[in-house]
Amino acid sequence: MKHRRKRSKSRRWLIHGILLLVAAVIGGGGYYLYNIEAILEGDFSKAEQFQEQGDYEKAAKIFEKLYLYHPDFYLADRALFQAGEILNLYLKKYHEALLAYSLVEKDYSESPLAKKALQQVAEIYKNQLRDYPRAIVAYQKLLDNGVGNGDRVQYEVADSYFRLNNFEQARIEFESLLKNYPDSSLTAEVQYRVAVATSLEGDLKKASESFRLVSEKWPESSYAIEARFGLAGVLEEREELTSALEVLEKLRGVYPNPEVLEKRIIQVKDRIKKKQKAI
């Protein structure tokens, strides 16, 4: 009987202890759940402090963990985007940054940061990785989604094709920019790029017309001077040497690289002399 009473008493103490432990766990968990938002906000602030202090590795890890473990947290999209910014701008880990930005665009498509993330994806592909085909895809997606600075995005599409030596498609994209954004501040430069692309395609007559258009329509633009220099090159290629020389000589005193200009003038004069001797 004594043995049974001892066992019963021990069992009661054990059960009592287990119940206390369970209550403590439930209470602690309830406290955590009740205060989870404040805790996560504290972690977000801590990551921001690390970033301000220049400890970018720690900041990026905290931002990434906020997204990984709490994707529904109201600051999760900002945390993930900020992780991408740190990886891109400070740590130069471009492929990891691409992943972070892509997840923002994919998982938080309704967030105001989604388009910004896609913009960063496009710029990394174009300017850092020189992956122009993927850059074009990203920029085109921005255009399809109605991005605000459409003329600038269209310009990047055209420039990416140009860098791929696809001059015909580059010209088409530049011309689309002029058509779709007639009031863009880029129009003088874009018309100049149309002229350059056209000359590289080999359509010298159309190229000369495009160069003339730039210098006549935007005479105060720096591209007007470059267009006149480009026109001289096209005229020279068409064997209109006297006209080319006339254009080049009028650029004296205004062309930003006088040494290059003088070399071209001498080159054209030499060609005129050789042509006259041949006659």
CATH superfamily, region 179-279? Tetratricopeptide repeat domain (1.25.40.10)
Topology classification of domain 40-124: 1.25.40
- Cβ atoms of 235 and 244 closer than 8 Å: yes
pLDDT over threshold 60, residue 158: yes
pLDDT band at 251 (very low <50, low <70, confident <90, very high): very high
- Cβ atoms of 82 and 111 closer than 8 Å: no
Once rounded to an integer, what is the mean pLDDT over residues 41-65? 97
> What does the pLDDT read at residue 186?
96
pLDDT per residue over 186-244, tens digit each? 999 999 999 999 999 999 999 999 999 999 999 999 999 999 999 999 999 999 999 99
pLDDT over threshold 70, residue 13: no
> What does the pLDDT read at residue 23?
45
pLDDT over threshold 90, residue 55: yes
Q: What distance in Å separates the CA atoms of residue 50 and residue 275, rounded to the nearest whole number?
A: 71
The domain locations on the chain are 40-124, 179-279
Range list of β-strands (E), 2-100 = none
Cβ-in-10-Å burial (0-12, 13-18, 19+) of 87 comes to buried
Q: What distance in Å separates the CA atoms of residue 195 and residue 206, rounded to the nearest whole number?
A: 8
Do domains 40-124 and 179-279 share one topology? The answer is yes
Once rounded to an integer, what is the mean pLDDT over residues 22-46? 69
Q: What distance in Å separates the CA atoms of residue 91 and residue 239, rounded to the nearest whole number?
A: 53
Measure the CA angle with vertex 8, ends 3 and 12; round to 5°.
150
